[in-house]
Amino acid sequence: MAPTTFTNRWKLIKKIFFVIFVVHISWFLIFIFQKFSEANFVVLNLKTKVLLLLAFILMAALVYYFFLRKIVIVKKIAKIFNKVFFICYISSFSYLLLGVLFNPPITITQFANLLGGYGLHRDYVSDANLGPNIKLAVIASEDQLFPDHDGFDLKAIKKAIKYNKRHIETQRGASTISQQTAKNIFLWQGGGFFRKGLEVFFTFSIEKFWSKRTILCRYLNIAEMGKGIFGAQAAAKTYFNKDAKDLSRQEAAMIAACLPNPKKFTVVPLSRYVQLRTVNILRQMNNLATDPDIQELIK
């Protein structure tokens, strides 16, 4: 392909995705501004941080437009930044759309486990081959309001905030299945405002572009369920020598019980934490089993 033809096509692609980006980010900002009424929503002092970030971006854009763009080296750096930004956004948006149909080829967490010497044992399966028990178990253990919320469980967030104020040493999270899915597919482990902010953005995005059933299916295929073990199928094969769809409620609850820290809380050998938490998860599974929204998701 001639350089001129490639350049023209790249310019056209950038124009198309610029429009998509403006719509996407505007939609997201409207969503975020609606959440400002919720104290400490996901990120501490979110309202202040978002407004400061927007003010910084606006100020930087004005300074560049009126002063810095006249400096050759700064203009070259800006062009490189522009290309990198569009490549990242086009890639992530394409990944978002492909996620409707496919599980991710590899995640940063999976790659990190491979480099860390834990190996990579996984076996992606379709929604139909996951079976109802493991779906019910992870909803019962991780996110009981999963069918009803918009990606963020505000009740759980408020409870976690109250708990964390009283227990400085043992902090509790309130991540939903949607948040965990977004983090595991698009991002990396760890905290910080930047990573957490991106998590909010990608959680919002998958909630708008994917169905709840798709989000649950992706989560059950990419979640870490043991050292180097990713997904319900690999966990079922490793721990019980059977397919995920054939797991009993007890077995599914045992796998779900390890999710808070799968490297520490082991299913085989059975850790004390998993043993105790399994009992509670089974109780919650029985309570949730007749909920019509959950029934629709797990069938």
Averaged pLDDT in 10-residue chunks for the chain of 299 residues: 75 91 91 70 65 81 81 86 91 93 90 88 93 95 92 75 56 79 89 81 95 96 94 96 95 95 92 95 94 92
Per-residue pLDDT at 162: 65
Per-residue pLDDT at 194: 79
Per-residue pLDDT at 222: 95
Per-residue pLDDT at 38: 62
CA angle 163/166/172 to nearest 5° reads 35
Per-residue pLDDT at 140: 95
What domains sit in the chain, N to C, each tagged with a CATH number? 3-98 (no CATH), 119-298 (1.10.3810.10)
* All residues at 6 or more sequence positions from 20 whose CB lies less than 8 Å from its CB, including other chains: 93
Say if residue 128 is exposed, middle or buried (CB neighbours under 10 Å; 0-12, 13-18, 19+): exposed
Inter-axis angle of helices 132-142 and 212-222, nearest 10? 90
Long-range CB contacts (< 8 A, 24+ apart) of 206-212?
206/96, 206/99, 206/151, 206/178, 206/181, 206/182, 207/150, 207/151, 207/178, 208/27, 209/96, 209/97, 209/99, 209/100, 210/99, 210/100, 212/146, 212/147, 212/297
Cα separation, 32 vs 25, whole angstroms:
10
Cα separation, 234 vs 124, whole angstroms:
8
Amino acid at 214: T
Per-residue pLDDT at 267: 94
**3-state SS record for 9-35:** HHHHHHHHHHHHHHHHHHHHHHHHHHH
* All residues at 6 or more sequence positions from 274 whose CB lies less than 8 Å from its CB, including other chains: 254, 257, 258, 265, 266, 267
Per-residue pLDDT at 44: 60
Kindly state the tokens that stand for 270: 């059975």
Amino acid at 195: R
Per-residue pLDDT at 129: 94
Per-residue pLDDT at 1: 56
